[in-house]
Amino acid sequence: MSALGRARAAVVALAAIVAVTASWWALALWPVDPSAPEWLLRTREVCFGSTSDALPNAGGWILLVGQPLGMVALLATVWATDLRAGLALATARVGGQLTVGVVLALLVAGLCSVAVRVRTADLDAFSTGAGDIAAQLTRVNDVAPPLALTDQTGQSVTLGSFRGRPVLVAFAYAHCQTVCPLIVSDVLSARRRIDDDPPGVLIVTLDPWRD
């Protein structure tokens, strides 16, 4: 490849990095409603993580910032001379200067938008009314929905098999070293306090592959 071809290829590579970076940042930070398509919400969560204010988590920010910087640094290291020559060639004409100026202006505007998005992320209105939360909860005197689980022996366990007696259901897993032992201890303690007809106890694991 000639020197001119390498210079143009370096500029094209830089433009591709800028375009891909802009797409990533738009995907990660563009405000979306909860009613957005499921694939979009899942893509954002898988690629950039998610926090309570709908911003990327720490890993997502590392990807958004570190990946573009790493690619630009690699390009500047491998094609330093060709990149300088390509940029000089691109800005040699008025049209090229205008294009570079527009791109830089869009980058500055994008960075300003990101700053505003981050600063106002925790100001989005949300409902904290007790009525809204209570409406989503199941009342303790409601009839329990059908439940079928597999126990440690491979047998199916249903709530129907406990019909006529109370059942305590708790969630825990064996490798949990913090809150799970406390939950199990409280459940067993509550069971021991009922002398007449001790309720059944179902501990549902959240890590069945290891438990």
> Phi, psi at residue 156, to the nearest 5°?
-80, 135
Instruction: Specify the pLDDT at position 148.
Output: 84
33 vs 64, residue with greater confidence? 64
SS3 194: coil
pLDDT at position 126 is: 45
Q: What is the pLDDT of residues 134-156, one digit of tens each?
A: 566 666 676 767 778 888 888 88
Tell me what the pLDDT averaged over the chain comes to.
Answer: 82
pTM beyond cutoff 0.85? no
Higher-pLDDT residue of 129 and 65 is: 65
Percent of the chain with pLDDT over 70: 87
Q: Could you tell me what percent of the chain has a pLDDT over 90?
A: 5
**Using CA atoms, how far apart are residues 60 and 143, in angstroms rounded to an integer?**
43
86-128 pLDDT, tens digit each: 889 888 888 888 988 998 898 899 889 888 888 887 654 444 4
Chain segment 1-30, per-residue pLDDT in tens: 688 888 888 889 999 999 999 888 888 888
pLDDT at 105: 92
Report the run of H or E that residue 148 belongs to, with start and end. Answer: strand 148-150
What are 57's two structure tokens?
A: 């988590």
203 with 176: CB under 8 angstroms? no
* pLDDT above 70: residue 43: yes
The answer to whether 157 touches 148, Cβ cutoff 8 Å, is yes
Do 175 and 207 meet the contact criterion of CB atoms below 8 Å apart?
A: yes
For 175-181, what is the mean pLDDT? 85
What pLDDT digit, counting tens, does each position of 51-94 carry? 666 788 888 888 889 988 999 899 889 888 888 898 898 888 88
Looking at the DSSP assignment, which residues form a beta bridge with residue 149?
157
Could you give the count of Cα atoms lying within 13 Å of 141 in the half-sphere of its Cβ? Answer: 0
Residue 132, pLDDT score? 57
